[in-house]
Structure formats: structure tokens, C-alpha cells
Amino acid sequence: MISGAEAHGMYAQKEVNSNTRVRVGVGIVIRNAEGAILLERRSDNGFWGLPGGRIEPGESILQTALREAKEETGLTITLTRLLGVYSGPEYRIVTFPDNVAQLVDILLEAVIVAGELVCSSESTELRFFHPEDFPPEVEIVPPARLPLWDIANKLIGVIR
């Protein structure tokens, strides 16, 4: 597991250049029947975040969201709306072992259709939170902080 200091290093503001890649992904706000939102504690760094991941070549946004939800949570979902698009470099320039990338995330809302909640190898814990009970910001993976703040403040359709 990556320590908090190392994880922050992954997300520390960096200089971008022509070698910086742009990586597009989806973040999924999965709500249960009570309206609480599913967060996962990531196995790579111990931070809480939203289920989701990068769009693979040949995949649509919809296909990515459905695949990532199933892989990371065991749930089958139905997407209900677009919540926002996040591309600002603050906390979105990430150092991976093989490159530096700027993350662009499309945030989608979903409801559960079927399945049983199961952790994947990418998470150590899955838990539903109401926005007023989200974990402290220092425990949330940096790219998820602004989207979760927007959710807690009922902002929809944001482009950041």
C-alpha cells in the first residue's frame, strides 16, 4: 500500500510537457435506495474514492461505466445522468510508474439494478456514505475531492 505522503506525491502539482498523456475515464456515483453514495477504499493507496476507471480503446463512456462498476463492486447499474466533467490540472496530474498523465473524468450517476457488493483487488472496503458523512478530505483520493464536494453541494452539470 502507498503511504499518504507517497500518494500525495503521485498527485502533487507537476510541470506538464509534450510527454504528458491525457487519460480519460469515468467516475461513477452509485446510489443505493436511501440515496447514499458508494465509495471504495483503494488498495493501491488507502484513500477513499469513487468507483470507475479509464476508457479502454474501442469502448464508449457507457460501456466503461458498466464494466468498471461490475469489476470494482460486483454491481449491475443503470446510468441515470451526467453530473460533470473534471479536467483541471489541480490534483489531476498523476505520476504513474511509466508516465505522467492528466486525468479527465466524466462523472456519471447510477442506481443499482442487481448484484451483490463485492470488493475487487482494487479496493479493500466498499461502503455507502451520505454526503454529510463523507470521509475527511485528507482520506479522499485527490481527484475525487472536487467531484465529491460538488455532489455534497448538489451541483450538477459542472465543467471543471
Give me the active site residues, please.
Answer: 125
Torsion of CA 128, 143, 2, 6, to 10 degrees: -150
96: CB partners within 8 A, 6+ apart: 10
Buried b (16+ CB within 10 A) or exposed e, 13-47: eeeeeeebeebbbbbbbbbeeeeebbbbbbeebbb
